[in-house]
Chain A
Amino acid sequence: MSKFLKFTLVTGFALSATATAIWAGEYGLGRPALPEEIAAWDVKVMPDGRGLPEGSGDVWTGDEVFGEHCAVCHGDFAEGIGNWPKLAGGADTLDRDDPLKTVGSYWPHLSTVFDYVNRSMPFGNAQSLTPDEVYAIVAYILYSNNLVDDDFELSHENFMDVELPNAGGFIVDDRAVTEYAIWHGEPCMENCKEKVEITMHATVLDVTPDEGGAAEEASAPDPVEVAEAAPEPAAEPEVAPAAEVAAIDPALIAAGEKVFKKCSACHQVGEGATNRVGPVLNGVMGRAAGAVEGFKYSDALQTMATDGLVWTDETLTAFLANPRGFMKGTKMSFAGLKKDEDLAAISAYLSSFSQ
Chain B
Amino acid sequence: MSGTFKGKPTSRRAFLRGGVAAAAGAVAAGAAKSATPDPLITEVQDWATSLGDGVDATPYGLPIEYESDVVRRNVPWLTADPISSINFTPIHALDGTITPQGCAFERHHSGAIDLKKEDYRLMINGLVDTPLVFTYEDLERFPRENHVYFCECAANTGMEWAGAQLNGAQFTHGMIHNMEYTGVPLRTLLEEAGLDAAGDLKDKWVYVEGADASSNGRSIPMAKALGDCLVAFKANGEALRKEHGYPVRLVVPGWEGNMWVKWLRRIEVTDAAVESREETSKYTDTLEDGTSRKWTWVMDAKSVITSPSPQSPIKHGTGPLVITGLAWSGHGAITRVDVSKDGGKTWETARLAKPGEAKALTRFYLDTTWNGEEMLLQSRAMDETGYIQPTKAQLREVRGLNSVYHNNCIQTWWVRPNGEAENVEVS
Chain A bound to chain B: yes
Kindly list chain B residues whose C-beta atoms are within 8 Å of the C-beta of A124: 83, 110, 213
Q: Point out the residue from A101, A173, A217 that lies within 8 Å of B293, measured CB to CB.
A: A173
Kindly list chain B residues whose C-beta atoms are within 8 Å of the C-beta of A210: 9-12
Kindly list chain B residues whose C-beta atoms are within 8 Å of the C-beta of A42: 123, 125-126, 266, 268
Q: Is the CB of A185 within 8 A of B388?
A: yes
Alpha-carbon distance A221/B14, docked complex (angstroms): 11
B109 within 8 A of A: yes
B80 within 8 A of A: yes
Q: Number of contacting residues on A, CB 8 A?
A: 99
Determine chain A's interface SS by DSSP, over half rule.
loop
Taking the closest CB of chain A, its distance from the CB of B288, in whole angstroms, is 7
Q: Is the CB of A22 within 8 A of B83?
A: no
Kindly list chain B residues whose C-beta atoms are within 8 Å of the C-beta of A265: 83, 110-111, 213
Kindly list chain B residues whose C-beta atoms are within 8 Å of the C-beta of A190: 345-347
Given contacts A111-B275, A196-B342, contact A32 B311 (CB under 8 A): no
Alpha-carbon distance A8/B165, docked complex (angstroms): 64
Q: Is the CB of A38 within 8 A of B296?
A: no
Alpha-carbon distance A223/B15, docked complex (angstroms): 11
Q: Is the CB of B343 within 8 A of A196?
A: yes
B1-19 contacts to A, CB under 8 A, are 2-5, 7-19
Q: Is the CB of A217 within 8 A of B294?
A: no
Taking the closest CB of chain B, its distance from the CB of A221, in whole angstroms, is 7
B265 within 8 A of A: yes
Kindly list chain B residues whose C-beta atoms are within 8 Å of the C-beta of A171: 291-294
Residue from B9, B18, B74 with most neighbouring chain A CB atoms (10 Å): B18
Q: Is the CB of A207 within 8 A of B165?
A: yes
Q: Is the CB of B291 within 8 A of A202?
A: no
Kindly list chain A residues whose C-beta atoms are within 8 Å of the C-beta of B427: 193, 195-197, 199
Measured CB to CB, the nearest residue on chain A to B164 is A202
Q: Is the CB of A82 within 8 A of B80?
A: yes
Q: Point out the residue from B213, B290, B295 that lies within 8 Å of A120, measured CB to CB.
A: B213
Q: Is the CB of A192 within 8 A of B292?
A: no
A118-153 vs B, CB cutoff 8 Å, 1 = contact: the mask equals 011001101100000000000000000000000000
Q: Is the CB of A97 within 8 A of B402?
A: yes
Alpha-carbon distance A336/B75, docked complex (angstroms): 34
Q: Point out the residue from A32, A223, A227 that lies within 8 Å of B132, measured CB to CB.
A: A32
B373 within 8 A of A: no
Q: Is the CB of A187 within 8 A of B380?
A: yes
User: What are 27 A-B interface contacts by the 8 Å CB criterion?
Assistant: A22-B130, A29-B141, A33-B131, A33-B133, A37-B133, A73-B80, A99-B290, A108-B280, A119-B215, A170-B284, A179-B390, A187-B338, A188-B347, A191-B345, A197-B427, A198-B414, A202-B164, A202-B167, A202-B422, A203-B422, A208-B12, A210-B11, A210-B12, A213-B71, A265-B111, A265-B213, A276-B81
Interface residues of B (CB under 8 A from A): 2-5, 7-19, 21-22, 65-66, 68-69, 71, 73-77, 79-81, 83-84, 109-111, 114, 123-126, 129-135, 138, 141-142, 163-168, 171, 191-194, 207, 209, 213-217, 265-266, 268, 270, 272-277, 280-281, 284, 286, 288-298, 300, 310-311, 338, 342-348, 376, 380, 382, 385-390, 394, 398, 401-402, 414, 422-427
Interface residues of A (CB under 8 A from B): 22-27, 29-33, 37-38, 41-42, 44, 46-48, 73, 82-85, 94-95, 97-99, 101, 103, 106-109, 111-112, 115-116, 119-120, 123-124, 126-127, 169-175, 178-180, 182-185, 187-193, 195-203, 205-215, 217-221, 223, 227, 230, 233, 261, 264-265, 276
